[in-house]
């Protein structure tokens, strides 16, 4: 079997095309006015994924053999999208939705995007302004994610977006990167209370699932340090 190297320039081009495509989507209409950043792709969190991928492609541009043209296109698109005005608009619209909207899946991915953007800003000073721009949505996401994990009663062990372990893994990356003690303590509590007793999680019959509940749980536990206070 011949292994083919990934063409990251083609991947980047697909991302750049997709994030500007307003329809079709899960809303049934264009939502660019309501979500001026994350309107492309089928749903909000998928657009967040693609913005995260754009940042990761830039961070690994040399290893990915990105052309200078594609690299500059990615940077330009991020600067155009991640403005203060757009971030305020996103936060304002999301505040109109129920408090569990995109929790944990979409918001945990947005926090993962923030981690990558912070790394990029340290690597490229021209992205420092974006760190300030995303604060309104950052604050909103963290408030809802902290409420979610603080009030968690029973973990969701399905193989879909609502899976608790998958959301916590992304939240854990954020907590470790920014040294958020409150988040780390809450994750410790959830792991100790809910996941250590569930060492025999089994994957459900495949139907609509797109991730493995058991592997997500074990991935989370592999990063958990019992009674350590840190992860």
Domain membership of residue 226 (yes or no) is yes
Residues 195 and 113 in one domain: no
Residues 107 and 160 in one domain: no
pTM for the full model?
A: 0.89
Burial 111-140 (b: 16+ CB within 10 A, else e): bbbbbbbbbbbeeeeebeebbebbebbbeb
Residues 4 and 96 in one domain: yes
Domain membership of residue 146 (yes or no) is no
Please state, in angstroms and rounded to a whole number, the distance separating the CA atoms of residues 56 and 120. Answer: 9
Q: Which two tokens stand for residue 195?
A: 């996941």
How sure is the predictor about 222, in pLDDT bands with cuts at 50, 70 and 90? confident
Last residue of a domain, one of 115, 141, 167: 141
Domain membership of residue 97 (yes or no) is yes
Indicate the number of domains in the chain. Answer: 2
Residues 65 and 86 in one domain: yes
In the block, residue with structure tokens 């100790």: 192
Residues 176 and 220 in one domain: yes
Q: For residue range 130-163, what is the model confidence (pLDDT) as tens digits?
A: 999 999 999 999 999 999 999 998 888 888 888 9
Residues 113 and 8 in one domain: yes
Residues 29 and 111 in one domain: yes
Residues 112 and 1 in one domain: yes
Sign of CA dihedral 141, 173, 150, 162: positive
Q: Which two tokens stand for residue 154?
A: 């029973």
Residues 121 and 184 in one domain: no
Q: Measured between alpha carbons, how far is residue 102 from residues 25, 78, 141, 221 in Å?
A: 15, 22, 9, 24
Q: For residue range 47-89, what is the model confidence (pLDDT) as tens digits?
A: 999 999 999 999 999 998 999 999 999 999 999 999 999 999 9
In the block, residue with structure tokens 């995109």: 102
Residue 207 belongs to what domain range? Answer: 152-231
């Amino acid at each position: 079997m011949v292994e083919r190297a990934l063409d990251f320039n083609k991947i980047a081009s697909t991302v750049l095309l997709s994030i500007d495509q307003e329809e079709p989507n899960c809303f049934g209409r264009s939502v660019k006015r309501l979500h001026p950043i994350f309107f492309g792709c089928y749903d909000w969190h998928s657009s967040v994924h693609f913005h995260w991928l754009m940042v990761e492609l830039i961070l690994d541009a040399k290893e990915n053999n990105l052309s200078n043209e594609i690299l500059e296109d990615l940077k330009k698109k991020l600067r155009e999208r991640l403005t203060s005005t757009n971030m305020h608009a996103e936060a304002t619209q999301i505040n109109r939705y129920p408090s569990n909207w995109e929790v944990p899946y979409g918001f945990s991915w947005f926090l993962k995007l923030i981690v990558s953007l912070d790394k990029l800003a340290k690597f490229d000073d021209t992205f420092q302004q974006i760190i300030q721009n995303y604060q309104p949505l950052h604050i909103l996401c963290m408030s809802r994610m902290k409420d979610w994990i603080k009030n968690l009663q029973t973990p969701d062990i399905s193989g879909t977006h609502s899976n608790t372990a998958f959301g916590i893994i992304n939240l854990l990356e954020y907590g470790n990167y920014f040294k958020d003690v409150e988040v780390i303590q809450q994750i410790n509590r959830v792991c100790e209370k809910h996941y250590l007793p569930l060492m025999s999680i089994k994957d459900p019959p495949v139907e609509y699932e797109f991730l493995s509940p058991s592997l997500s749980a074990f991935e989370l536990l592999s990063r958990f340090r019992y009674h350590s206070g840190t992860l």
